Amino acid sequence: MPGKQAVQTICPFCGVGCGMHLLVDDQNRVAAVSPQGDHPISRGKLCAKGWSTPFAIEPGDRIRQPLIRTDDGFRPASWDEALEVIRYGLLDILSQLGPTAVGVISSARASNEDNYAAQKFARAVLGTNNIDHCARICHSPTVAGLKQTLGSGAMTNSAADIDSAEVLVVWGADATENHAILGGHIIEAKLRGATLIVVDPRRTRLAKLADLHLQVKPGTNILLVNALLHEIFRHGWQNQDFLDSRCEGADALRKSVRDTSPTQLADAIGVPAEQIEAMARTYGQANSAMILYGMGITQFVSGTFNVMALSNLALSCGQIGRPGTGINPLRGQNNVQGACDMGCLPNVYPGYQDVADPAVRQHVSDYWQCPLPDHTGLTSMGMTQAALRGEFKGLILFGEDPVVTDPDQNEVLASLKALDLLVVAELTMTETARHAHVVLPAASFAEKNGTFTNCERRVQRIHQAIPPVGEALGDWQWLGAIARQLGSSSLDWTNSQAVFDEMAGMTPSYSGMSYEKLARQHGLQWPCDDAAPEGTPTLHQTEFPIGRARLIPVHHVDIDEPADADYPLQLTTNRLHFHYGCGSMSRKSPLLERETPDGILFISPEDARNLRLKNHSAIGIRSRRGYLETRAIITDDLPPGLVSMPYHFSEAPSNQLTNRAMDPVSKMPELKVCAVRITPLPEGQAPRTIQSIRASAAPPSARENS
């Protein structure tokens, strides 16, 4: 394209990690994108969000310089002044309450370099393991569950395996909406003759194409796995050689599913026994079968057990360690795999090295040349809850919008208000940034160098295409500036390559990687080390990191808040293809924005009839925690009794309603099901935004202040 420069990079939205070029015009703006034709996953394609990248980062409403809170809003400030406010605030809290009262929430949207810097900042500069990020409410049960059963909590296989699998099981994932390019690969696999099985309470697009759709009741995943295992063992479809040579615990597992026959459990699961038997037959007898799973497994109080159940199923049939098989968590954010790998978790250093292990701690302490805290830190919601108890006072948060994306919005707001210091580094003024004491301007992915790690463990380079907007800095850079204010030079790198090299020097699974090697091909899949210098597309081929895989029997756990007389409908939350996360990037695109109205609730024709709703009727929705108003869309994709809302809309945020009851192992809140009551709004009355509902409910004095 004449007058335009094409810079090779990776899509900044989801974990598929599609390859794109940013086309930069002569005024140094990203004018357009084009797909990378030779990219191994995206193969010359992008989804609607990828194509809309220029809108997501455009300079119009970007934060251009630091902002400091005043009585009636924010005032622009210099970096020096903002850093001084942060230094003063942090030192004040540290001197009064010590390092357990401060912490960092980092960003799965930012680079590996940014995330490495964030956890090093928390540990080496602040002296705390209070470091976490959105994986907590996404795939933390995967990290916890697969670590126990396989020794590694990542996708075992690669996206390319979708092309060769004989059977594809899509379990609690809406891949055509949320991993669109992979969703396309799944459709292609179906067209070439693969068998497609979908397990989902909603009739997703893939469910409509599937050979078998098990429309389960929400929260019954373990029952279904155990019924499948019962059937598989009964018919001898298990892979006994694999169980004998590579696993432990097979006998106990087999005993635990003795009384879980499809006929016994069909009613509880909500599908006919014949469907369960058919699924067991297809999966149990497949030569190669690949499980792809998502939030329909993890976002439950039973999240970790759900993941372990899937692991039991794949291991029992020996569907792991070969091409076209595996247990594959579809990691969500563009760099959530990387943010976990970098150790932005309260219990592990980079490469999942345990902070509680004294030998590991000594090693990291020697590498960083500083003392390190010895106890596990708080999770993200652990920090906000400690804030409500007055035990946690200072939070540095970047690239997340918990006011919109964490469960139980009213409690999130109360906890942010309880902080003495909230620093938010963002691209735009998000709902969370509005509550900050200091807002810092962050550079977008187009304005910095670095790496993202996609869902199949592929570490890929992003290249700076344009200068940062205004005075924005990359996240590792402003973190380094705060560290220097606090007298530490431990984040003083000269460029992103230096950050990467330091990280690779302490992260075994990245130890064979360098920017030079990553540039030679389309990235490298970890582990990449002396034993596997070209990376590892398929994990666990000959052994597991823990030697033999562990089969651990798991039993059904009830959902925390079933429907009852007061709140008679179950609400689940999902995503829309055209919007992303809190919406702060995707909703800047007029093309994406025109595809959906502002906030919606999907409801079955039967429930709509009972409530006398028409399509697009205005409704109020109440749960035990909150209330909001929106419009109903009637669809037979949902069964009676279940309604569904996306969570992308800050004016109708489904997280007003959601339940923060947590999985005791991973601390994952139950975002996938809570109980609600719906009332039609009077004829002619439009739904109010949550902001106006809040303003009208506030006492007059509070109204004047807001």
Ligand X SMILES: Nc1nc2c(c(=O)[nH]1)N[C@H]1C(S)=C(S)[C@@H](COP(=O)(O)OP(=O)(O)OC[C@H]3O[C@@H](n4cnc5c(=O)[nH]c(N)nc54)[C@H](O)[C@@H]3O)O[C@H]1N2
Judged by the rule CB under 5 A, the positions of this chain that interact with Mo ion are 138, 332
Using CB atoms within 10 Å of the CB of residue 200, give its burial: 0 to 12 exposed, 13 to 18 middle, 19+ buried. buried
Strands ordered across the beta sheet of 394-398: 73-76, 67-70, 438-441, 421-426, 394-398, 102-105, 131-132
> Letter for the amino acid at 551?
L
Coil, strand or helix at 234:
helix
| Residue selected from 50, 99, 103, 219 as contacting ligand X according to rule CB under 6 A | 219
CB of 405 to Mo ion, least distance (A): 9
Restricted to residues 441-500, the positions that interact with ligand X (CB under 6 A) are 442, 444-445, 475
Q: What is the rounded CA–CA span in Å between residue 395 and residue 387?
A: 9
Structure tokens at 41: 């996953």
Which residue lies nearer to ligand SF4 by CB, 48 or 97?
Answer: 48
Select the binding partner of residue 16 from ligand SF4, ligand X, Mo ion, none (C-beta < 5 to 8 A, by kind).
ligand SF4
| Shortest Å, Cβ 17 to ligand SF4 | 6
Q: CA distances (Å), 631 to each of 196, 608, 652, 678, in order?
A: 33, 12, 10, 11
Cβ distance 62 to 469 under 8 Å?
Answer: yes
**How many residues of this chain interact with ligand X, rule: CB under 6 A?**
62
527 preceded by a cis bond (ω within 30 of 0): yes
Among ligand SF4, ligand X, Mo ion, none, what binds residue 173 when CB lies within 5 to 8 Å by partner kind?
A: ligand X
Give the Cα separation of 3 and 155 in Å (integer): 41
CB 174, min distance to ligand SF4, A? 13
Question: Tokens in use for 119?
Answer: 């956890």
Q: Are 363 and 134 in contact (CB under 8 A)?
A: no
Under rule CB under 6 A, residue 204 binds ligand X: yes
Compute the C-alpha angle 90/402/389, nearest 5°.
55
The residues, ordered by sequence, that sit 6+ positions from 463 with a Cβ below 8 Å of its Cβ are 7, 8, 9, 449
* Binding residues for ligand X restricted to 416-435, rule: CB under 6 A: 425-428, 430
Least distance in Å: CB of 19 to ligand SF4? 9
Q: Which residues bind ligand SF4 (CB under 6 A)?
A: 11, 13-14, 16-18, 42, 46-47, 49-50, 179-181
Residue 460, phi then psi, degrees to nearest 5 = -130, 145
Binding of residue 647 to ligand X (CB under 6 A) = yes
Please spell the DSSP secondary structure of 419-459, one letter per residue.
-SEEEEEESS--TTGGG-SEEEEBPPGGGS-EEEE-TTSEE
From CA 246, how far away is CA 685, in angstroms rounded?
Answer: 63
50 binds, among Mo ion, ligand SF4, ligand X, none (CB under 5 to 8 A by kind): ligand SF4
Q: Does 173 bind ligand X (CB under 6 A)?
A: yes
Return the residue of 66, 99, 153, 296 that touches ligand X, per CB under 6 A. Answer: 296
Which residue in the set 270, 332, 350, 626 belongs to the binding site for ligand X (CB under 6 A)?
332
Instruction: Pick what 352 binds: ligand X, ligand SF4, Mo ion, none; C-beta below 5 to 8 Å, kind-dependent.
Output: none
Tokens for 17?
């990690």
Task: In angstroms, give the least distance from the CB of 158 to ligand X.
Answer: 18
The dihedral sign for the CA sequence 506, 507, 512, 513: negative
Least distance (Å) between residue 199 CB and ligand X: 4
Calpha distance 442→424 (Å, rounded): 9
Taking the complex as a whole, the smallest distance from the CB of residue 33 to ligand SF4 amounts, in Å, to: 9
Closer to ligand X by Cβ: residue 149 or 405: 405
Is the Cβ–Cβ distance between 13 and 180 less than 8 Å? Answer: no
Query: Which one of the spans 275-283, 366-374, 440-448, 505-513 is the region binding ligand X (CB under 6 A)?
Result: 440-448
For ligand X, the closer CB: 337 or 536 = 337
Residue 571 amino acid letter? L
Q: Scanning residues 585 to 644, which ones bind ligand X (CB under 6 A)?
A: 585
Shortest distance, position 444 Cβ to ligand X, whole Å: 6
Which of ligand SF4, Mo ion, ligand X, none does 425 bind, CB closer than 5 to 8 A by kind? ligand X
Give contact residues for ligand X (rule: CB under 6 A).
14, 49, 107, 109-110, 134, 137-138, 171-174, 177-178, 199-202, 204, 216, 218-219, 221, 294-296, 299, 330, 332-333, 398-402, 405, 425-428, 430, 442, 444-445, 475, 572-575, 577, 579-582, 584-585, 647, 654-655, 658, 671-672
